[in-house]
Amino acid sequence: MHNLVLDIGNTNGKLAVFNNRELIHYQSLRQITTSALANLIEQYNVSNSTISSVADEFSEIIDVLKKRTNYVEFSTVFNPGIKNYYKTLSTLGLDRWAKVVAAHHYYPKLNCFIIDAGTCITYDLLTEESEYFGGSISLGVHMRFKALNHYTGRLPLVKWDKEDGEIPDGTDTESAIKNGVLQGVINEIEGFIANQNKRNKAIRVLITGGDAAFLLVQLKKSIFAPQIIHDPYLVLKGLNEVIAFEYVQKD
């Protein structure tokens, strides 16, 4: 059974094809066209599909999925057995909920602290009792660089390559901005992890998102390194669980 899942975020769209729970194809695209989507469905003989999107203007894509596959609608109402105490389900991001769903299946009976370093940095805890109370939303790395430029009169907009694993010393204005932003992000993340370790036992830290590779380089030096698991496809795996659960329910 081939499943197509789409995660359309603020910056890129991610597509994945699963053969049951085996990931067999992955793409990250700036723009997803209906023709490319139709070709992918045909190429992999896709049977089922679902989508998570932060925007509402993807009706054409959803139309293709509905016409050419068994389309499973995903919303925060979907629940595979998680005790969800989030007070405003209508405003809970689908990508955040998909990550919690993935943690519930792939890391059962563990305290999972999920960090997604994308356009924003989000923090979510799923307890070993499958309880979800919500989490935190913070500025992403690039958003912090833009904010320093936008809200000041003279600070430049600094370009940052996320493949660069070094945090520079602040010996000039540009490197001072990089040091402040990047070290600030690392300090924030380590603070969140430390706080979770005080509250819960045996925390597993799941890191995902576009800037996760940079974070991993920095956090290898941290006392929290043994707790960290890099799971780059966590959202997509959660979306695939939506389809899998749909078929379990039917059976």
- Three-state SS at 224: coil
- Other residues' Cβ atoms within 10 Å of the Cβ of residue 237: 23
CA-CA distance, 231 to 88, in Å (whole number)? 27
What's the sign of the alpha-carbon dihedral 2, 213, 204, 6?
A: negative
Three-state SS for 154-209 is CCCCCCCCCCCCCCCCCCCHHHHHHHHHHHHHHHHHHHHHHHHHHHCCCEEEEEEC
Sole residue written with tokens 């994945």: 16
Which of 7, 56, 63, 95 is catalytic? The answer is 95
Q: Is 95 part of the annotated catalytic residue set?
A: yes
Give the active site residues: 95
